Amino acid sequence: GDKAFAQFLTDEIKEEKKIQKHKSLPKVSGGWELEVHGTEAKLVRKIAGEKITVTFNINNSIPPSADEETQEEQKPDEQEPDLTSTPNFVVEVIKDDTKQTLVLDCHYPEDEVGHEGEEESDIFTIQEVSFQPTGESEWKDTNYTLNTDSLDW
C-alpha cells in the first residue's frame, strides 16, 4: 500500500509539473527580499526603523469551491481556467527600538475568492492581532491575542 501511494503522489507531481505555466517565481519589486523553503515563502523588508515580514504557505490554498467547479463544469476539449492561490498569511512588524512584535494573522474569506465571472477582489481579513516577544520562534498562548470579530470597523 505504501509503495502504491508513493507512486501515485509521484505521478501526480509529474502531471502538475507538465501543466505548470510558470517555471520560476515572478520578480518581487519594492525592496522585498524573498526566501522560499518548499511550499513556505517569506517576504522581508526593512523600512524607516521597522522590519516587516510576510509569511505564507501555499499548501491547501486553492479555495475548495473553485477546485470543485473546475472539475465539474469543464468540457473535455476546454482549457483549464486559472486557479488562484489564496493562502493564509502572517504579517509581523518589528520596530527597531522595541522588544515586541505586532503580529497580524490574515486570511482570504471563502466568499471573496473563487467566483469566476465576478469582479476579482484582493480583500483579505485580519483574523487576529497580537503582540509577541521579538526573537521568539514560537508564539506564546499566554500573550494577549485579539480576535478581530469583536472590533468595530
Can you give the C-alpha Rg of the chain in angstroms? 19
pLDDT range class, residue 53, cuts 50, 70, 90:
very high
Within the chain, strands assigned E span 33-37, 40-47, 50-57, 89-95, 100-107, 125-133, 145-147
pLDDT range class, residue 98, cuts 50, 70, 90:
confident
Average pLDDT estimate for 128-149: 77
Q: What pLDDT is recorded for position 109?
A: 81
pLDDT at 111 over 70: no
Domain segments of the chain: what residues? Answer: 24-63+82-112+120-147
- Euclidean distance between CA atoms 37 and 18, whole angstroms: 22
- Euclidean distance between CA atoms 110 and 124, whole angstroms: 10
| Sign of the Cα pseudo-torsion (149, 122, 61, 58, in order) | negative
Most confident segment among 57-66, 86-95, 132-141: 86-95
- Of residues 144 and 34, the one with the higher pLDDT is 34
Task: Note whether 103 and 131 are within 8 A (CB).
Answer: yes
> 63-74: per-residue pLDDT in tens?
766 545 555 555
**Pairing mode of beta strands 100-107, 125-133:** antiparallel
- Euclidean distance between CA atoms 115 and 121, whole angstroms: 10
Report pTM.
0.70
Q: Report the percent of the chain where pLDDT is more than 90.
A: 25
pLDDT at 60 over 70: yes
24-63+82-112+120-147: CATH topology is Mitochondrial Matrix Protein; Chain A (3.10.280)
Q: What pLDDT is recorded for position 153?
A: 63
Average pLDDT estimate for 23-45: 87
Q: What pLDDT is recorded for position 1?
A: 79
- Euclidean distance between CA atoms 37 and 57, whole angstroms: 9
Please report where in the chains the cell 498569511 appears, as a residue. 89
